[in-house]
Amino acid sequence: MNGATRAGDTTAESAGQKFIAFVLRAALRATVKRAFQAGLPIERQRQRLLSATRLTLPPRSVSFETASVAGVPGDMVRQRGDEAASSVILYLHGGGYTTGSPRTHRTLTGHLAVRCGARIFVPDYRLAPEHPFPAGLDDAVTAYRGLLDEGVESGEIVIAGDSAGGGLAVAAALRLRDLGQPRPRALVLFSPLADLDREYPGVLPRGEVMLTPAWLRACARAYVAAGDPRDPLISPVSADLCGLPPTLIQVGTDELLLPDSRRLAERLQSAGVRAELHEFPGRWHVFQANAGILADAGRALEEVARFIRRPPH
């Protein structure tokens, strides 16, 4: 696995956690996978995903406020009583570049704010097919530069994201590097979608509970539009990754995007970037969203907190 760390051991799980994992898998198949269906009108997909995430419970100690950074709307997430937190996480939500919003990710970003002691800005970046590449990337870069203009030091900013948001986080870091902007402290990627030009296996991983090759291909077509899926800002696994900040990648072993995480980690390490890949056996796509219920999700977010607190060099 070229340096990948296997985090946790599902064989040592308590009976309670095994039951919780079983129930969560069933719930994800019945809700999120039902939303992520190729051919289903995009508005229906978005509505179903939002309905599914209403079943989750963000931590009560966190506030979610409508905010805008450099004209990009979104959520500002922070732990109550910690309004002066200097660290900021620019969090880019997943959803295949076509679905998702700050609202669908509030449980994940809320727990991340608590574990990391940081403010989190979640841009409501423009989505395909209405706004294909590079609209979402432009919004992410604008939000980062807006945080700098507001006086946040680049060394206090972490860019994070899940799934498509993970790929977008890498693309944003690449664009910022090429623009000569100060680089963020770190990148944190949950199951990043880093290659929109890949061929998917005919047989799904046995534990995959929400993604399908057909849906991912449909999302790629919508986002890429008239562009080239091999463009390094669309598929950053093919980019020159030199000069990117320290990067943590977390992924479950039971998901379709495991190869993306492995290839991206290898490419980062080959480019001289301090990159860590942590694989969680028996876990599904963006399992971190189940923090507060699933023990592995909580451990994963604690790992994120430790990673971003390390010296950046």
pLDDT of the residue at 80: 87
Residue of 93, 131, 235, 255 marked catalytic: 255
pLDDT of the residue at 295: 94
Percent of the chain with pLDDT strictly greater than 70: 95
pLDDT of the residue at 293: 92
pLDDT in tens, 259-311: 999 999 999 999 999 999 999 999 999 999 999 999 999 999 999 999 998 87
CA distance 229 to 217: 11
Task: Indicate the pLDDT class of residue 189, thresholds 50, 70 and 90.
Answer: very high
Domains of the chain, start order: 5-309 (3.40.50.1820)
| Mean pLDDT for the stretch of residues 184-190 | 98
- Asked about 285 being catalytic, the answer comes back as yes
pLDDT of the residue at 8: 59
Task: Indicate the pLDDT class of residue 81, thresholds 50, 70 and 90.
Answer: confident
CA distance 213 to 235: 16
| Mean pLDDT for the stretch of residues 211-235 | 96
pLDDT in tens, 122-181: 999 999 999 999 999 999 999 999 999 999 999 999 999 999 999 999 999 999 999 999
Task: Indicate the pLDDT class of residue 2, thresholds 50, 70 and 90.
Answer: very low
- Asked about 163 being catalytic, the answer comes back as yes
Order of all β-strands in the sheet with 62-69? 5-6, 275-280, 247-252, 186-190, 157-162, 88-92, 119-123, 72-79, 62-69
For the chain, percent helix, then strand, then coil, each to nearest 5?
40, 15, 40
pLDDT in tens, 235-264: 999 999 999 999 999 999 999 999 999 999
CA distance 165 to 94: 4
CA distance 287 to 129: 26
Helix axes 295-309, 106-116, angle to 10 degrees: 50
CA distance 77 to 102: 10
CA distance 173 to 188: 11
Residue of 87, 163, 191, 261 marked catalytic: 163
- Asked about 303 being catalytic, the answer comes back as no
Global pTM reads: 0.95
pLDDT of the residue at 312: 65
Answer yes or no: is pLDDT of 84 > 70: no
Centre a 10 Å sphere on the Cβ of residue 232 and count the other Cβ atoms it contains. Answer: 15
Residue of 105, 111, 131, 285 marked catalytic: 285
CA distance 106 to 58: 6
pLDDT-wise least confident of 47-61, 67-81, 229-243, 247-261: 47-61
| Mean pLDDT for the stretch of residues 221-226 | 97
CA distance 81 to 61: 9
Dihedral, CA atoms, 78, 79, 85, 87, nearest 10 degrees?
-60
Instruction: Give yes or no for a cis peptide into 134 (omega within 30° of 0).
Output: yes
| Mean pLDDT for the stretch of residues 183-187 | 98
Query: In the structure encoding, which two tokens stand for residue 222, read together?
Result: 């919508």
| Mean pLDDT for the stretch of residues 19-23 | 93
- Mark out the alpha helices in 150-278 (DSSP H runs): 164-178, 213-224, 258-270
